[in-house]
Structure 1
Amino acid sequence: MRITDYELYQVPPRWLFLRLETSDGRVGWGEPVVEGRARTVKTAVEELLDTYLLGSDPDPIEDHWQTMYRGGFYRGGPVLMSAIAGIDQALWDLKGKQFGAPVYELLGGKARNRVQVYQWVGGDRPEGVAQAAEEKVEEGFGALKMNATSEMRRVDTPAAIAEAEERLATVRETVGPDVDIGVDFHGRVSKSMAKRLARALEPHEPMFIEEPVLPEHNDALPEIAAYTSIPIATGERMYSRWDFKEVFESGVVDIIQPDLSHAGGITEVKKIVGMAEAYDVAMAPHCPLGPIALASCIQVDACSPNVLIQEQSLDIHYNETSDVLDYLADPSAFDFQDGYVSLPEGPGLGIDLNEEHIREQAGDIDWHNPVWRHEDGSVAEW
């Protein structure tokens, strides 16, 4: 059995799908993408497949991972690790289909029967959050996530802090104490403002504050943690176990959020979540992406005891043109009940994709995140 062919599809709203085919006719799917850099990652996937995998046996996944990562002198970073991630997902999909079992069964078996998911509310510049939160709770979700602020200056006004606090207070008052609310700083906030903002939000008991500073400033996390008892989450822009090693050793991160399409795929994230367990750190995988990425997350969630909750992008503000379920032949694979998703029982990643629809939608999808600017014209963090 050999890998004989592959196809890559850029599809709306901002995703890249990989289809791997083997000599016995099996097909495996992966989702290798950096949002806003799909064409760049597409080229990296082609280079890796053409150089290392075409014509090879798909079975030795660990060896393929090591070859793709260590076969190049320059390693890591979002583009390479996302390319590896999507290929790795497709290899695990093939492996599960070979043995007629979900991937989580090949990784040790399930540690839970279902996975809690949270629902995004409010948009990039959060507004109408309380009403959206109320609607999602009525739909059965017991956990939500919202952006804390729009762009913030390095040292902003008391009014900017008060606005963020009032927004969260309104949501908390609307949904009550039984609903968890994650608050995403999105790396928009400087370390000086992160301290003030965390202290202001604490009375409203968010589930976590996410990415309070950019990963290049993770050395500031101990100082921020000293200002608050709110659990700190980070990791969507960290790409390997070596990136996470430092935050584990610092002892200030409570929840890690590796992305299964950015952090080396199933193979690497399973190692990261194992490291996290040793440091008493929970995992909530980042996934504002498509159905293949979400299916990959659920496979790791299923067999990892320290998983807290799962992000998913159904109805997220990015998905204006296409949504997660649009690409599935059987949308019931992600049938959320009472804010949970059941573990898939099908082989591989446990989803069936609508290949005809994927081909119809495929094209040169030119999505890029907006560039925000402060009032003085300087570039702001998005």
Structure 2
Amino acid sequence: MKNIFARLAASGNGSDRRDFLRNAGLGGLSLGFAFEKKPFATEQELEFITQKVSRDSKPNELKITDMRIAVLQGVPFSSPIIRIDTNQGLIGWGEVRDGASANYALMLKSRILGKNPCNVEQIFKQIKQFGNHSRAAGGVCGVEMALWDLAGKAYNVPAYQMLGGKYRDYVRLYADTPEADSYEGFAKNMQKRRDQGYSFLKMDFGIGMLADQPGMLVNGSNWSVRRQWNDSEPGKLGNYANTKHPFTRIQVTKKGLDRLVEHVGKVRDIVGYDTPLAADHFGHFDVNTAIQIGRAMEPFRLAWLEDLVPWFYTDQWKQITDAIDTPTLTGEDIFLKEEFIKLIDAKAIDMIHPDLASSGGLLETKKIGDYAEEKGIPMAMHFAGSPICMMANVHCAAATENFVALEHHGVDVAGWEDIVTGMKPIVDKGFVKVPDKPGLGVELNEEAAKKFLRKGATWFAPTDTWNTRDSSDREWS
């Protein structure tokens, strides 16, 4: 060893000194070669010296240079996928909520160009004014997802780590129960779900299944009750889907309630009582009918009753929650934590149900969950999109203590898991393993994703028309 340092001191040539230091800095491999007098192996040297070299970007110098969108269809609904490019070649992936316009995200492009995506919270606070409840929040939340993906890649850590670390290694999913024409067919579908490994299920039932049956509903024939989303039909009172629940004045008769009880009882017999079973999509009716249905369902120990009335009727939610024993739940259309706080503080619901693509993205949803956790309220999560949005949910769920289960709407969509690379399988026996790869942990698989491209849509076409801001965004004077 003394001879080695003597050679270094004797070297008058700066280049030779640097070469020697480089070789010496290789550590055990290079010095081992020297001491054992073996020929130097270039490939082994390169493999050794690069194994611990950080391949991260330079986070402080990272800048957003472009944002483009491709709209996928049938995953299971429409899902605009966001791609944010940077000056260092890193790409961040995000997703506008199912059923929302890509323009909700594109109009934000001029607000984020040139910014460092690692400043996620700062950028979110600047753009959140352009979000609103339900699908109107899709752009803000989708961009926020992509920012976390970029920040994680820049620092070479998974998104959950930047949210404070994880409480769990696996995220539990709950799946909708497939519909069938008979209870025998439903039982077969339930066996399929069991074979897939799902241990938490959700079903839809409500006044839609009572429509057009004599003696089941009061005032039901005056509306298109079977979840019609089109304009009002001739001879009907208006657009049922866009009429708030208390204003339809539809009531369920005793005969109708008995039919719902019979249906849910048969489903419970098929599912059994070991499996949590939640319920959704009851229809548009007032708080009185909601309480009647809720009380009728109590023998079946449902995991929760979801969205019985619109989320913003806090007092009505409290009436329902106080009147029934089955847990109540809402929240998939709420943007930001403030409205969740109102419901929680009023003790109006038993559980919260944010959709991360509407509630504000990863960090805001974690804040929502943390507040609920402090008040003893569990959090389930609504989701109906592509694997990109699912992974954003998975990281948030992993980092939030009071998380219960995440919805998976694409269970039966062929090719759903192929939309991304980086995880295979994504879902295993009803759970998702929390990825340890940087950012969201997946990359878009263009070949597979193009199969879902909406007819007439373009594949990440240039969006230069959205580069220039044409208004002042200041919210105060």
TM-score, normalising length from structure 2?
Answer: 0.69
Larger radius of gyration: 2
Q: 1:133·1:144 contact (CA, 8 Å) conserved in 2?
A: no
Q: Give 1:158 deviation, angstroms.
A: 2.3
In the alignment, what sits opposite 1:375?
Answer: none
Structure 2: distance between partners of 1:281 and 1:32: 27
Q: Following TM superposition, by how much is the alpha carbon of 1:176 offset from its aligned partner in structure 2, in angstroms?
A: 1.6
Q: Deviations over 1:97-129 (max 9, x none)?
A: 112221111111111121111111135999754
CA distance in 1, matches of 2:348, 2:277: 20
Following superposition, the deviation at residue 187 of structure 1 comes to 5.4
Q: CA deviation at 1:199?
A: 0.8
| TM alignment of 1:181-330, pairs within 5 A | 181-185=277-281, 188-315=284-411, 319=413, 324-330=416-422
1:116 aligns with 2:172: yes
Deviations 1:244-268 (A, max 9, x none): 1211111131211111111111121
Q: Distance in 1 between matches of 2:389 and 2:160?
A: 15
Moved over 4 A (4+): 123-128
Name the CA shift for 1:130/1:210 in 2 (closer, same or farther; >3 Å). farther
Are the aligned partners of 1:85 and 1:264 in contact in 2 as well (CA < 8 Å)?
yes
| Corresponding position of 1:380 | none
Is 1:10 equivalent to 2:71 in the alignment?
yes
Q: How big is each residue's C-alpha offset from its partner over 1:327-346, in whole Å with a ceiling of 9 and x where there is no partner?
A: 12355251322x32211121
Q: Which structure 1 residue ranges, 5 or more long, are not aligned?
A: 367-382
Report the RMSD for the aligned CA atoms in angstroms: 2.3
Mapped to 2, the partners of 1:126 and 1:192 lie a distance apart of: 31
Q: 8 Å contact 2:422–2:441 — kept in the other structure?
A: no
Distance 1:364 1:32, change over 3 A: same
Q: How far is the alpha carbon of 1:145 from its aligned partner?
A: 0.3
Give 1:167's aligned residue: 263
Contact 1:31–1:86 under 8 Å retained in 2:
yes
Q: How far is the alpha carbon of 1:163 from its aligned partner?
A: 2.4
Question: Structure 1-normalised TM-score?
Answer: 0.86
Maintained 8 Å contact 1:333/1:344: no
Q: Is the 8 A contact 1:291 1:328 kept in 2?
A: yes
- Look up the match of 1:373: none
Shift of 1:192: 1.9
Alpha-carbon distance between aligned partners in 2 of 1:110 and 1:291, rounded to the nearest angstrom = 20
Counterpart in 2 of 1:55? 114
1:90 CA drift (Å): 0.2
With over 3 angstroms needed to count, the CA separation of the structure-2 counterparts of 1:121 and 1:189, relative to structure 1, is farther
Separation in 1, partners of 2:175, 2:113 = 39
Q: Unmatched 5+ residue regions in structure 2?
A: 1-61, 212-219, 221-249, 458-477
Aligned partner of 1:358 in structure 2 is 449
1:145/1:360 Cα in 2 relative to 1: closer, same or farther (>3 Å)?
closer
Find the partner of 1:107 among 163, 176, 196.
163
SS of residue matched to 2:69: strand
Structure 1 counterpart of 2:205: 148
**C-alpha displacement of 1:186:** 5.2
Q: 1:76 to 1:134 in 2, by over 3 A?
A: same
| 1:64 Cα deviation after fit | 0.3
The Cα shift of 1:306 comes to 0.3
The answer to whether the Cα contact below 8 Å between 1:104 and 1:300 also exists between their aligned partners in 2 is yes
**Structure 1 residues 323 and 250, CA, compared in 2 at 3 Å: closer, same or farther?**
farther
Closer, same or farther: CA 189–331 of 1 in aligned 2, 3 Å: farther
Indicate yes or no: 2:285 matched with 1:158.
no
2:255 is paired with a residue of what secondary structure?
helix
Q: Which moved more, 1:356-365 or 1:100-109?
A: 356-365
Q: Distance in 1 between matches of 2:176 and 2:182?
A: 11
Secondary structure at 2:175's aligned position in 1?
Answer: strand
Deviations 1:312-339 (A, max 9, x none): 12335xx5xx6531412355251322x3
CA distance in 1, matches of 2:456, 2:329: 31
Q: Once the 2 structures are TM-superposed, how far is the Cα of residue 214 of structure 1 from its aligned partner?
A: 1.4
Residue identity in the other structure for 2:438: P
Question: CA 1:191–1:259 in structure 2 vs 1: closer, same or farther (change >3 Å)?
Answer: same
8 Å contact 2:149–2:159 — kept in the other structure? yes
Matched residues in 2 for 1:187 and 1:292: separation?
31
Distance 2:419 2:153 in 1: 20
Native 8 Å contact 1:125 1:150 kept in 2:
no
CA distance in 2, matches of 1:301, 1:205: 25
Q: Residue 240 of structure 1 aligns to which amino acid in structure 2?
A: L
Distance change in 2, residues 1:365/1:126 (3 Å): farther
How many Å apart are 1:161 and its aligned residue? 1.9
Residues 146 and 182, structure 1, Cα contact 8 Å, conserved in 2: yes
Matches within 5 A, 1:18-29: 18-29=82-93
Once residues 63 and 284 of structure 2 are traced to their aligned partners in structure 1, the CA distance between those partners, rounded to angstroms, is: 46
Q: How many residue pairs get matched?
A: 353
| Identity within the alignment, % | 27
Distance 1:357 1:113, change over 3 A: closer
Change (3 A) 1:242 1:7: same
| Post-superposition CA distance 1:202-245 (Å, at most 9, x none) | 10111111111112333211211233211111101111111112
2:427 alignment counterpart: 335
